[in-house]
Amino acid sequence: MRILVTGGAGFLGSHLCDRLINDGNDVICLDNLFTGRKENIAHLLGHPRFEFVRHDVVDPFKFEVDQIFNLACPASPPHYQYNPIKTTKTSVIGAINCLGLAKRVKARVFQASTSEVYGDPEMHPQREEYWGHVNPIGLRSCYDEGKRCAETLFFDYNRENKVDIRVIRIFNTYGPRMLANDGRVVSNFIVQALKGEDITIYGDGKQTRSFCFVDDLIEGFVRFMNQTEIIGPMNCGNPGEFTMLQLAELTLKLVGGRSKIVFKPLPSDDPKQRQPDISLARRVIKWEPQIPLEEGLKRTIAYFSKQVG
């Protein structure tokens, strides 16, 4: 197949491009390199079935493709809050551009949605039926509401124009190729521990997240995209739930060194708990994560040791 991956030079996008190329597809990677890097796809640049296009999803684009994976959007809070209006435009206009293209060329189109659509959830663990508890006017809203509006557009294009959609809700995912200065918790803790700097816990560290290793997630993407039973939304993530204190202690144990844990103010609207209910993924795509946190952290630490070292 010919496949377009928007955001293909980012953390998840570059792993997806690797997987799609390995499966024998032709891949077009479209990215404006805001948080993505050419290094992430450098090994693919000479490949006869791979093309890189530097382009912004907010501006229309046209490619003859069979599938579109829409991943373009900064994902870490400091990056998506850097230019919040642009973040909403990327999610909303980017979705419209992908859906318009999918409609024209009759491609199947995949939306990388997020557990953030559940906001600071009042239902635990989060099931796909839950409508969420989201602040529409806070600092995280550009991302949360942008992604919610993108979901709305996907379902309206499906109902109105019969566009063949797949909407997946990704929970916190980590692994090699995250940016060292990305600002997300796993990369922050690992880089701080490797440099012997203080480990910065925001708030009291009792808030929870559920962390999925990138290889598990990409397997879920491909299985979900290539089945015809459901269009989503479908949760994809690792149900293992940890407090930020536990994550800091585990990271320190694995990296070693002399870092101390310090406490910083909690950012506004920071969700208190998050854990995916993955019964739907288990049933439909027979998927569940295989890589436990400790193993995934070891692989990620090995990556950052080379970057930071």
The residue ranges that bind ligand UDP (CB under 6 A) are: 76-77, 172, 184-185, 188, 200-202, 207, 209, 244, 266-267, 270
* Residue 173 is a binding residue for ligand NAD (CB under 6 A): yes
Kindly provide the b/e burial profile for residues 58-79, where b requires at least 16 CB atoms within 10 angstroms of the residue's own CB. beebeeebebbbbbbbbbbbeb
Out of 36, 176, 233, 271, the only residue in the binding site for ligand NAD (CB under 6 A) is 36
**192 phi/psi in degrees, rounded to 5:** -60, -45
Annotated active-site residue in 80, 118, 130, 143 = 143
* Residue 210 is a binding residue for ligand NAD (CB under 6 A): no
* Residue 13 is a binding residue for ligand NAD (CB under 6 A): yes
Closest CA to 224 of 212, 236, 209: 236
Q: How many whole angstroms separate alpha carbon 52 and alpha carbon 6?
A: 10
**Site residues (CB under 6 A) for ligand NAD, limited to 80-139:** 90, 112, 114
Nearest residue (CB) to ligand UDP, 49 versus 86: 86
| Residue 74, binding choice from ligand NAD, ligand UDP, none, Cβ under 5 to 8 Å by partner class | ligand NAD
Tokens of 236: 């994809």
By rule CB under 6 A, what string of x and - marks binding of each residue 38-57 to ligand NAD?
------------------xx
Give least dist CB 277 to ligand UDP, A: 17
Give least dist CB 271 to ligand NAD, A: 12
Tokens of 56: 């912004």
CB–CB of 264/200 below 8 Å?
Answer: yes
- SS3 per-residue string spanning 86-150: HHHHHHHHHHHHHHHHHHHHCCEEEEEEEHHHHECCCCCCECCCCCCECCCCCCCHHHHHHHHHH
* Residue 71 is a binding residue for ligand NAD (CB under 6 A): yes
CB–CB of 259/188 below 8 Å?
Answer: no
* Residue 58 is a binding residue for ligand NAD (CB under 6 A): yes
Q: How many whole angstroms separate alpha carbon 273 and alpha carbon 243?
A: 9
| Residue 300, binding choice from ligand UDP, ligand NAD, none, Cβ under 5 to 8 Å by partner class | none
Q: How many whole angstroms separate alpha carbon 104 and alpha carbon 98?
A: 10
Who's near 112: CB < 8 A, 6+ residues apart?
7, 12, 69, 70, 71, 73, 168, 170
* Known catalytic residue at 174: no
Nearest residue (CB) to ligand UDP, 63 versus 130: 130
Tokens of 114: 């997020």
Out of 25, 34, 41, 121, the only residue in the binding site for ligand NAD (CB under 6 A) is 34
| Residue 202, binding choice from ligand UDP, ligand NAD, none, Cβ under 5 to 8 Å by partner class | ligand UDP
* Residue 10 is a binding residue for ligand NAD (CB under 6 A): yes
Contacting residues toward ligand NAD, per CB under 6 A: 6-7, 9-13, 31-36, 56-58, 71-75, 90, 112, 114, 170, 172-173
Catalytic machinery residues: 143
